[in-house]
Amino acid sequence: MKMSGKFRRRAAGGVLVLSAALAGCGSSSSLPEAPAENPVTGEARGCDAAAFPSAAWTLCEAQNIANTLQNTTLHTALLPGLLSDTTRYQVARLSLLLTDPERQPNPNSCTAIALCPIDPRVQGWEAAGELVAPVLYTSRSGATISGHVWATAAGPAKRPGVIIVNGSVVGYEPIYWYAAQTLARSGFVVMTFDAQGEGMSDQFGEAPDQLEAAFAGIPALGLVKPADVAGFGLGGNGLPFYDGGADALDFLLSTPTAPYVPVPSRSSGTSHAAKQERRVAAGLNAAYNPLWQLLDASRIGIAGHSYGAEAASWLVQQDSRLSAAVAWDALCVPVSPSPDEAIALATAPVNRLAGALPLPAGYGLPTECFGAPAGPAPAITKPALSITSDYLLVPAPYLAPPDPDIKAEASHIYSQQGVDTGTIVIRGGTHFDFNDVPAVLPASLRGIDLVAWYTAAWFSKYLKNDPGADALLLSRRWQDDSATAQADAAGDPNLLSWHYHSRLDIRLRGGGRFKCENLRLGCAGQVDAARDGGPERYSFAEVVGP
C-alpha cells in the first residue's frame, strides 16, 4: 500500500509532517519496498455495509455506543469484592504515612477513595504461589516511587522483561496488574509502578526538584512544570511517564553488583542518590531488582497506556536496552519539538465532529508523541503495536463516518520505515478498556481480554522469539468471539471496529510477511481460533486466576 496524501498532513493542522517523522531514518529512496497486501477474504455485511446517511447506519452507531456500557452493567457481581479490596488499598495508603512518614503521596487522584477501585480478580497472585516483590526506589527528581516486580514461581531460569508505564491522572498501578500477571504467566518478568503523582508514589520530588515531575500529567497543572519540558504548558507534565519509564527501566535492570542509582534530575542536575542510599540503609528502599536473577537483560520490552503509551512509543526507539513496544491507546510517532498535550489533542483531526467541528479529546489521540522532553526525536527502528478503541474518555456518537485509517496513521508511518507494526481498534471500546476497573468506568466487556491477548502475543514474538507467536497474532478468534456476541445488542461476534481499520504488517517466522489492512473482514493467511494455540475460551481472568 503506497502512502497516500492523508498521511502527509501538516503539523500546523495537528498531524505530523511526514518528513519530520522520518528525520534521521534515511531518505525516502532508501526505504524498503512496500510488501504486497494479503487479500481481504471477508465480505462487508451489516454495519460494515450500512450506507450513510441511513437509519441502518444510525442504528449501528447507537448499538456501538451501547457497547461502552458493558463494563458497568455486566460486572456487578464483582462489586462486593471490589469494595473490600478498594478499602484494603486505601488502608494501605494511610498506613504508609505512619510507617514511612517521609513519603508524600497526597494529594493525588487516589486521595479521593472513589477514584481508585481495585479489581478483586488480580489479588490472589501471591496466594497462588507466584512471585511478586513490592519495591520502593528514588526517582531522578527525588520522589519515592512505589512498584512491583512480577513472575511465576515455575519457568525458565532466564526470562525476558517488560516495563508497564501507567497513564495520567487516574492511572494508578493496580489497574495494570491484569497485564502484568498475564505477561508473567506467558514467561516474562514484569515491572509495574505508580508514576510520580499517582497511587502510592510521592506527589513531589526532593528539593530543589519538587515540581520536576509532579501532578502526573494533569492538564493545566503543567503550567508549573520545569521550563525545559516541551510544549506550551497547557497540557500535563510528561516527565512522570517519559523519565519515569526510563527510571523504572534502570531499576528493573539493577543487580547486587550494579545497584540502582538515580540519574541526576533533568531540571537542576541535582543527584538524589544520597536519598536512595539512605533509604536503602534504613531498609525502606530496594537497592536493586529483587527478581534480578530471573531477568534476561538482553530482551526487554515496554508497554504503556495513554500518556504511558506516548512514553513507550518514544522510549523504545530512543533506548538501546529496549527491543519492542505495545502502546495502549495509542502508538505515536516521535517528533521534535514535541507538541504540548492540550494543543495536540485540540488540533488533532481525529477529534472532529462530522470531520469538521473541533471536539478536543473526543475520539482519539494525535499521531505525533506529545509532552516529550526537549531533544532530538529518535528514529523509528523497532517493532511497535498500537491497540486503540472507537471512543476516548466520554463516548461521543459519530455524526458521520470517520476516516477509517486515521487511527492507524502512526502504524502506517512505522510500516514505511520497514518496522513491524500494527493497529488493533476495539469496537465499542473506550480509553478505559485498557484499565482494569470493572463495574465503574465505561468500556466494552471483552476489550481488556483482547488487549491482554495481543500484548502477550506481540512480546512473545519480539522478545521470546516464540515459534507459536505468529499464530496468536494472526488468529481470527476476535472476529468470531462468542462472548462478544452474547454481550452485544446486535449479536455481532466481531470485536474489531467497523469505524476504523485494524491492520497488521509483520514479518513471519517462516519467511515472508503478513500485511492485512482490514482485519475485521479478515485476510488470507490468518489462522482459525482452533489452530492458534490458545484456549478455546480466553480471558485474562482465567489466565491469571488460580
Instruction: Render 100-164 in DSSP notation, one character per residue.
Output: -TT----SSGGGSGGG----GGGS-TTTTT-EEEEEEEE-TTS-EEEEEEEE-SSS-SSEEEEEE
The grid coordinates listed for 303 are 508497554
Tens of pLDDT along 19-58?
334 444 433 334 445 567 888 888 899 999 999 999 999 9
* CATH code linked to domain 64-544: 3.40.50.1820
Neighbours of 65 (CB within 10 A): 18
CB 250 within 8 A of CB 138: no
What cell was used for 138?
528514588
Phi–psi pair at 503, nearest 5 degrees: -145, 155
Cis peptide upstream of residue 337 (ω within 30 degrees of 0) = yes
Contact by Cβ (8 Å): 382, 322: yes
Tell me the average pLDDT of the chain.
90
**C-alpha cell of 141?**
527528581
Single-letter amino acid, residue 425: V
* Alpha helix (H) residue ranges in 265-365: 273-281, 307-318, 341-347
126 has a pLDDT exceeding 50? yes
pTM for the model = 0.93
pLDDT for 221 beyond 80? no
What is the phi/psi pair of residue 41, to 5°?
A: -105, -20
How much is the pLDDT for 25? 44
**Do the beta carbons of residue 246 and residue 380 sit within 8 Å?**
no
Q: Could you give the 3-state DSSP secondary structure of residue 97? A: helix
Q: Is the pLDDT of residue 352 over 80?
A: no
How far apart CA 159 and CA 255 sit, in angstroms, is 15
In this predicted structure, what is the pLDDT of residue 15? 34
Given a cut of 80, is residue 321 above it in pLDDT?
yes
| Integer Cα distance of 156 and 165 in angstroms | 25
CA distances from 256 to 275, 289, 290, 293, 536 (A): 18, 8, 9, 10, 43
pLDDT band (50, 70, 90) for residue 359: low
User: Looking at residue 7, what is its pLDDT?
Assistant: 41
Query: Is pLDDT at 419 greater than 80 in this prediction?
Result: yes
pLDDT at residue 119 above 60? Answer: yes
pLDDT at 253: 98
pLDDT at 217: 79
Between 4 and 214, residue with greater pLDDT: 214
Instruction: Retrieve residue 175's grid coordinates.
Output: 489497574
